[in-house]
Structure formats: C-alpha cells, structure tokens
C-alpha cells in the first residue's frame, strides 16, 4: 500500500482548477493508464474535486492488474465514483454506455521493453482508445504525449517550442518511443477531423513527485532513492545535460486544464522551463537531507562537447491557458522525500 497524496497537494490542484470541473457534472470519464504515476494523480485529484463540488461524476480507469491496484491504493479502488476495468490498452473490451471525456495516459517508456513492442503498444493502444472515443460518443480526448516527439534538442536551443519541426532519428531503434508518440498524435488529428470530437495533446517532459518510481529510468527518482538509502547520489553521466522538472501537483493542474480548455489539435508542452544541469539537480537532492549526502559523478566532461538539453518552452501554455510552474524544485523534492518516508 502506498501513502495518499497530501491534502496540501490536492488542495493546490483544486484551487487552480476549481472553475473547470462543472463541465464534468453528471458525466462519465474514462482514463487509460489510470494506475501509473500520471494516473494516480489524475484519480486522486478527480476524487477530491468530485467530492468537494458534488459533481456526481463517474470515472472508469483501465488497468492491467486491478487486484494489484486495490492493494496499492485501496482508498481509490474503494471510492464509489471510481470503477476499475481490467485489460490491455491494445485490445480492451469497451465499457458500456456513453463517456463524455477520455484521457489516454497508458504507455510504456521503460528501456527494458523491446523497441518493436514499445512502438506497437503506443500506436495500437492509441487507436484502440480513439475507437472507444468514437463508440462512446466522447466530446473531448486528451492524449498524454511526450517531448520525445522532437527528437534530440539542438544544443544551441535553450528551450524547445511546439513549433520546432525536428523529429527522432527514424534509423535508430531507440527512437521507437518518440516515433510512437508522433504516430499517436497523428492518429488523434485524423480521428478528430473524421469524427468531430476534440483531441488535446500534452507533450510531457520531466517530473518529480509522489508516485514517481524510484527504480526506473528517471534520474531524479534514482537520486532520491540513493539519498533515502543514505548512499551517495550517483550521476551516471558527466552531469552536464540540462533538464527541468515540474512537480506532480502542477502537472495535474496542467493536464486537467488542457483537457478542458486546450485547443483541439494544438499541442502544448508540459513541464518546467527552469533549466538545470543534472549535476545541479543531484546537488539539490543531496542538500535536501541533513546531513547532506555526497554526490558522485561517473564521467568527466569532454572539452568542446556541447551539453545535451531536454527543456521545454512553455509560453504557449502560459499565454493561452494561464498555466505556470508554481511549485519550485527545492520544495518539490522535499515533498517527494516526505511522501516516500511516510509510505508504508
């Protein structure tokens, strides 16, 4: 069993989405990937708003293992407004009845998944979700996409915008995730035009917060894992790549806002625009502990080699939707550490 998201974080999301929820009053919403990192935040914040505003909304979440989720989050699995349906995103059976909104957050980005399986899961899963949107007469569909659709960010580009026309290297099998997300976005555009419902796209970058796995390929999660174990924080690079991290409570605000108010077939970058080197991120994690843990850098920077970057430009989301990264990284890390320490 995992710890619940704090009341402070739930209130933060509610305060910045309060005016959006009435659109769901008396409706049904379907979420794929409802039991992962993103999904837990979507379900928790939905349940909070549904109760506070008495929306009488029902949420159905697709999961590969309903029993595992019941053990992980019994307070969500037991919520009368939340229904779990079990199945594979590529071929799940369609629930009966109408759903007004769909959020497609199911995906796999694990490096252990073979490229062909990863690509097929992303594309087939998106098409299955879109077919269900047609069948259930949905009005709005949110695709949780990725900044990986841009391919490698040019080293002289500090922040990558939605207008950048770059792409992953199609000759590299490691591009399966990014190319899969590109294909998923194209499918959304096609279905939107042919069937008339709105499709919203959230191109997500890097995040930190409760429910983020500490044993996967997320660098900041690994740093927190090492420090919680009272070990040195290990940076498995030269520490020079630039990243940015949006706290999960702000992530939830952004995703709900894009679903309700984002323009159809217009992608929005989702993330923080505060660029920090991986070394700086590791140092920030280490300093969050008393006494501070040490930081070990595996490699030495090569002279004359430009640092890699993966940092979004977020002006579109700021100007069109009024979205901001409100919680700073230091506070985000501290709240993530606190959550893991209180987890059973």
User: d(Cα 192, Cα 134) in Å, to the nearest integer?
Assistant: 10
pLDDT tens profile 115-145: 999 999 999 999 999 999 999 999 999 999 9
Range 30-40 average pLDDT? 94
pLDDT of residue 109: 65
User: d(Cα 344, Cα 72) in Å, to the nearest integer?
Assistant: 10
pLDDT of residue 217: 82
User: d(Cα 220, Cα 209) in Å, to the nearest integer?
Assistant: 10
Work out the mean pLDDT of the chain and round it to a whole number.
96
pLDDT tens profile 46-95: 999 999 999 999 999 999 999 999 999 999 999 999 999 999 999 999 99
Nearest to 136 by CA among 104, 96, 105: 96
- What is the model's pTM? 0.97
Range 146-164 average pLDDT? 97
User: d(Cα 335, Cα 90) in Å, to the nearest integer?
Assistant: 35
Residue 282, pLDDT > 70, answer yes
pLDDT tens profile 100-122: 999 999 977 677 899 999 999 99
User: d(Cα 276, Cα 235) in Å, to the nearest integer?
Assistant: 14
Range 306-320 average pLDDT? 97
**Domains and their CATH numbers in the chain:** 206-246+271-311+326-339 (3.90.25.10)
pLDDT tens profile 184-243: 999 999 999 999 999 999 999 999 999 999 988 889 999 999 999 999 999 999 999 999
Phi, psi of 276, rounded to the nearest 5 degrees: -135, 150
Cβ atoms 87, 124 nearer than 8 A: no
Task: Name the maximum alpha-carbon separation found in the chain.
Answer: 61
Residue 344, pLDDT > 80, answer no
User: d(Cα 328, Cα 335) in Å, to the nearest integer?
Assistant: 11
185-194 contacts, C-beta under 8 A, 24 or more apart: 185/143, 185/145, 185/149, 185/267, 187/123, 187/126, 187/127, 187/130, 188/126, 188/130, 188/141, 188/143, 188/265, 189/265, 191/130, 191/133, 191/134, 191/141, 192/141, 192/264, 192/265, 193/265
pLDDT of residue 309: 97
CA atoms within 13 A on the CB side of 81: 22
pLDDT of residue 343: 75
Range 254-263 average pLDDT? 98
Counting residues of the chain whose pLDDT is more than 70, the rounded percentage is 99
Q: Per the structure block, which two tokens stand in for 4?
A: 């619940």
Four-residue CA torsion sign, 267, 258, 323, 286 = negative
Q: Per the structure block, which two tokens stand in for 343?
A: 């987890």
């Amino acid at each position: 069993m995992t710890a619940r998201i704090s009341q402070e974080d739930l209130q933060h999301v509610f305060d910045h989405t309060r005016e959006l929820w009435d659109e769901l009053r008396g409706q049904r919403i379907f979420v794929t990937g409802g039991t992962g990192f993103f999904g837990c935040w979507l379900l928790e914040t939905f349940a909070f708003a549904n109760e506070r505003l008495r929306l009488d909304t029902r949420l159905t979440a697709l999961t590969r293992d309903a029993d595992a989720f019941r053990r992980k989050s019994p307070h969500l699995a037991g919520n009368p407004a939340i229904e779990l349906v079990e199945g594979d995103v590529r071929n799940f059976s369609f629930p009966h009845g109408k759903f007004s909104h769909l959020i497609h957050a199911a995906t796999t980005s694990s490096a252990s998944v073979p490229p062909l399986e990863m690509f097929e899961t992303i594309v087939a899963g998106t098409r299955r979700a879109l077919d269900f949107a047609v069948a259930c007469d949905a009005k709005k569909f949110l695709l949780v996409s990725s900044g990986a659709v841009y391919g490698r960010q040019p080293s002289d580009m500090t922040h990558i915008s939605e207008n950048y026309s770059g792409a992953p290297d199609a000759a590299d099998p490691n591009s399966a995730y990014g190319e899969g997300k590109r294909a998923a976005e194209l499918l959304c555009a096609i279905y939107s035009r042919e069937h008339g419902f709105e499709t919203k796209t959230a191109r997500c970058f890097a995040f930190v917060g409760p429910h983020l796995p500490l044993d996967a390929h997320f660098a900041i999660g690994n740093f927190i894992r090492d420090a919680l174990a009272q070990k040195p924080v290990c940076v498995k690079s030269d520490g020079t790549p630039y990243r940015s991290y949006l706290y999960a409570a702000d992530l939830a605000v952004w995703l709900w806002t894009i679903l309700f108010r984002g323009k159809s077939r217009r992608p929005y970058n989702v993330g923080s625009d505060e660029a920090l080197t991986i070394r700086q991120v590791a140092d920030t994690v280490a300093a969050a502990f008393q006494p501070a843990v040490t930081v070990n850098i595996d490699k030495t920077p090569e002279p004359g080699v430009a640092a890699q970057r993966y940092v979004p430009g977020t002006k579109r989301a700021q100007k069109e939707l009024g979205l901001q990264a409100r919680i700073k990284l230091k506070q985000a890390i501290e709240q993530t550490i606190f959550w893991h320490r209180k987890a059973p």
